[in-house]
Amino acid sequence: MNKHSAEREQLDGIGVSPGIACGKAFLHISGFPEYKEEIVLEEAIPQEIDKVKRAFEQTSHDMEHIKTQASDSESKDLTGVLDAQILIVADPEFQNQVIDKIECMQYSAIFAFTSSVNDNIEMLSRSKDPYMREMVADIETVSNHILKHLLGERHKELTGFSEPAILFASYFNPGEILEMPNLNVTGFVTEKGGPTSHMGLFAKSLGIPAVVAVRANLKQIPSGSRIVVDGNKGIVIVNPADDEWEEYQKISHARREARFKRFEQIHELPSSTRDSHHVEIMANLDLPTSLDEILAHEHVGIGLYRTEFLYLKRANFPSEADQTKVYYDIAKKFAPQNVILRTFDLGGDKLTDYFKSEFEINPALGWRAIRFSLDVMPIFEVQLRAMLKASTLKNVSIMLPLITTLDEVQKAKRLLEKIKKDLHEEKAAFDEDIKFGIMIETPAAVMIADYLAEEVDFFSIGTNDLTQYTMAVDRNNKRVAKHFQVFHPAIIYSIKKTVEAAHKAGKPVGICGEIAGDPLATKLLVGLGVDSLSMNPASIPVVKGILPKIGFEEALKFSQKILKLTTEKEITETLMKDFKESNLNNSLNKKGELKNA
């Protein structure tokens, strides 16, 4: 390839994920580096060995986390790939090889590790067995992960692109691919990989066109070049001619539009039952996604903004100014709709590298969410200040996660009042009447909901955690997944009790757990009296399509009938039966999507 040429060039590879993607080239460096030989003092050997052990341990933990993310997303069937990578980290021979080099040769942890990995890669690359050669990509993925821990650095995260980007690399690991839809990456191209490589499986399930095993030196493609990825034909066109570029762009836009079409005009669908009982339909937001613009355009508010994702992506806590900007940008984008910013739900399995707690046997019951915030007041104060400063458009609300005691709410409120006073003195603008609410996601909060309701402006029920804590089932543990029963009578009763407590105090109550986006649950939740449902954006057209088919009085009676049932099985069966009999299923196609959308 001619480095400086803007001439059209076609690269051949293997199309592993169909579709056409157009965008600007961006080179993402990966592969596995080599380090210079480094000898350590004899006394330092135990310390170097310890570093290696810890890096392997942290990587196993990270990979399990990525696997959970994959099984939560549409990539469910792909966890097998991650299982293979987890096995590589767990292989004692891999770790022993590195430790032997430290003990026998007095190599530093980093040199012992990188030289072992490079030896293994070289050996496997020379193998005649294609399966062994394909293992190289998995070993590189895992080894890069371990290396980052050894170096004590954060992952070199990809950041979002302002225009559609096509990423080029030697290969991509699963975590990187899962991130792509959130970063405006529309396609990717790699040097390595084969027809069955994990990259294709992940790309396909996320709908990202991809071509792998391209026979070219990708490093020579200038960043910013126009690129077309044709995942159907397995070709990549660099610098297509103008008319060809336009043609391909049309095809790729049509594809994107088909995805967005389901969201068009959803604001024209009434957010109420057929007898005009209003229920607000809102979106849960984690990282910025390509759907943000359309959600904002369709007047959807944000019922849950998980701010901890902002923290997890960075090498240190973001400053007050950084946070204010992020929160304000979201508030502005969605104004005048309401945006509920949840204070960070850090801790448990969501810990940052720069703020690690001690190992916890039971992290879900540990130092998490509001407990963490109240213990690290200066950080909490910065976050609350940023939220207040971002509230000048008067559409921001603040919400606290994982409340179990009245005291937690009162402490946070006192801090908020102090900050308001400080901001007055500093003459900084903010919304004096900012709404302050809490999540109801523990049985303790349900039980004292009457008292809590007096203290706050609103409730939002987090049924994911409420189910975890009520049913005593780890929400991330596949083995006990069948016990994670969101339609268990205890959960339905908890929702009823929470709604009653809120309404008795004249406060609104929403739901932002996954149940809010389940079409099977819509009638029941409306009947239980919830005022808003905040969900995964993909569920919004479905639930908004169902709502006008429900009568409020009928939903009320239906919920009373459900509340008399004693098992999860009976409740689920009754919901399904009614769903069919009320013809609610008529609005959905076989994939659970809204018909004619």
For residue 441, state whether it binds ligand PEP (rule: CB under 6 A): yes
Of residues 128, 56, 42, the one with CA closest to residue 97: 56
Of the candidate residues 318, 347, 462, 529, the single one contacting Mg ion (CB under 5 A): 462
Mapped onto helix, strand or coil, the DSSP state of residue 523 is helix
How far apart, in whole angstroms, are the C-alpha atoms of residue 230 and residue 548?
A: 41
Residue with smaller CB distance to ligand PEP, 86 or 340? 340
Binding of Mg ion by 514 (CB under 5 A): no
Which residue lies nearer to Mg ion by CB, 134 or 441? 441
Task: Rank residues 230 and 518 by Cβ distance to Mg ion and give the closer one.
Answer: 518
Q: Which of 280, 308, 465, 531 binds Mg ion (CB under 5 A)?
A: 465
Q: Is 303 in the site for Mg ion (CB under 5 A)?
A: no
User: 513 contacts which partner out of ligand PEP, Mg ion, none, CB within 5 to 8 A by kind?
Assistant: ligand PEP
Closest CA to 26 of 279, 226, 224: 224
All residues at 6 or more sequence positions from 413 whose CB lies less than 8 Å from its CB, including other chains: 436, 455
Member of 231, 303, 513, 519 binding ligand PEP (CB under 6 A): 513
Query: What are the residue ranges of helices labelled H in 290-344?
Result: 292-297, 308-312, 320-334
Residue 342 vs 385, nearer CB to Mg ion: 342
Residue 303 gets the label, from left (phi > 0), alpha (psi -120 to 50) or beta, of alpha
Q: Is the Cβ of residue 218 or residue 461 nearer to Mg ion in the bound state?
A: 461
The interface partner of residue 463, options being Mg ion, ligand PEP, none and the CB cut-off 5 to 8 Å by kind, is: ligand PEP
Position of minimal CB gap to Mg ion: 465
d(CA 344, CA 376): 12
Q: According to CB under 6 A, which one of 462, 527, 529, 545 is a site residue for ligand PEP?
A: 462
Question: Is residue 474 a contact residue for ligand PEP (CB under 6 A)?
Answer: no
How crowded is residue 340: how many other Cβ atoms within 10 Å of its Cβ?
26
**Binding partner selected for residue 191 from ligand PEP, Mg ion, none, CB under the kind-specific 5 to 8 Å limit:** none
Q: Note whether 181 and 41 are within 8 A (CB).
A: no
Active site residues: 198, 512
The span from the CA of 411 to the CA of 136, in Å, is 53
| Residue whose CB is less far from ligand PEP, 82 or 512 | 512
Give residue for tokens 């969410």: 369
> Within positions 430 to 459, which residues make up the interface with Mg ion, using CB under 5 A?
441
Residue in this structure with the two tokens 């309401």, named with its chain if needed:
338
Copy the structure tokens of residue 4: 């400086």
> What 3-state DSSP class applies to 224?
coil
Report whether 515 contacts 572 (CB < 8 A). no
CA distances from 493 to 447, 486, 496, 497 (A): 11, 11, 5, 6
Smallest gap from Cβ 145 to ligand PEP, in A, equals 25
Residue closer to ligand PEP by CB (options 82, 515) is 515
Residues 341-400 that bind ligand PEP (CB under 6 A): 345
Residue 512, interface with ligand PEP (CB under 6 A)?
A: yes
Give the residues across from 284 on adjacent strands. Answer: 304
Distance CA 91, CA 294 (A): 46
Part in contact with ligand PEP (CB under 6 A); list of ranges 28-36, 95-103, 461-469, 561-569: 461-469
Q: Going by DSSP bridges, is the β-strand pair 458-461/435-440 parallel, antiparallel, or unpaired?
A: parallel
For residues 524 and 584, the answer to whether their CB atoms sit within 8 Å is no
Amino acid letter, residue 203: A
What is the number of residues in the chain? 597
As measured in angstroms, the least distance from the Cβ of 488 to ligand PEP is: 15
Instruction: For the CB of residue 536, give the shortest distance to ligand PEP in the complex, in Å.
Output: 10
CB of 303 to ligand PEP, least distance (A): 9
Strand order in the sheet with 226-230: 9-12, 235-238, 226-230, 20-27, 165-169, 185-190, 210-212, 14-17
Residues 268 to 297 in contact with ligand PEP, rule: CB under 6 A: none
Q: Which residue is nearest to ligand PEP (CB)?
A: 462
Q: How big is the site for ligand PEP, counted in residues (CB under 6 A)?
A: 10
Which of these segments, 253-261, 354-362, 385-393, 458-466, binds ligand PEP (CB under 6 A)? 458-466
Stretch that binds ligand PEP, among 31-39, 62-70, 190-198, 459-467 (CB under 6 A): 459-467
Closer of 13 and 348 to Mg ion (Cβ): 348
The reply to whether 306 sits near ligand PEP by the rule CB under 6 A is yes
Site for ligand PEP contains 323 (CB under 6 A): no
CB 314, min distance to ligand PEP, A:
19
Dist CA 13 CA 11 (whole Å):
7
In angstroms, the first-to-last Cα distance of the chain is 45
Q: Which of 513, 511, 522, 536 shows the shortest CA–CA distance to 584?
A: 522
Q: How far is the CB of 337 from Mg ion (least distance, A)?
A: 22
Kindly state the tokens that stand for 497. Answer: 């009790």
Min. distance of Cβ 521 from ligand PEP in angstroms? 13
Q: Which of 255, 216, 258 is nearest to 232 (CA)?
A: 255
Q: From the list 79, 463, 498, 559, which residue makes contact with ligand PEP (rule: CB under 6 A)?
A: 463
- Which of Mg ion, ligand PEP, none binds 512 (CB below 5-8 Å, type-dependent)? ligand PEP
Residue 71 in the binding site for ligand PEP (CB under 6 A): no
Pick the closer one to Mg ion by CB: 431 or 465: 465
Please give the residue ranges that form the binding site for ligand PEP (CB under 6 A): 304, 306, 345, 441, 462-465, 512-513
Please give the residue ranges that form the binding site for Mg ion (CB under 5 A): 441, 462, 465
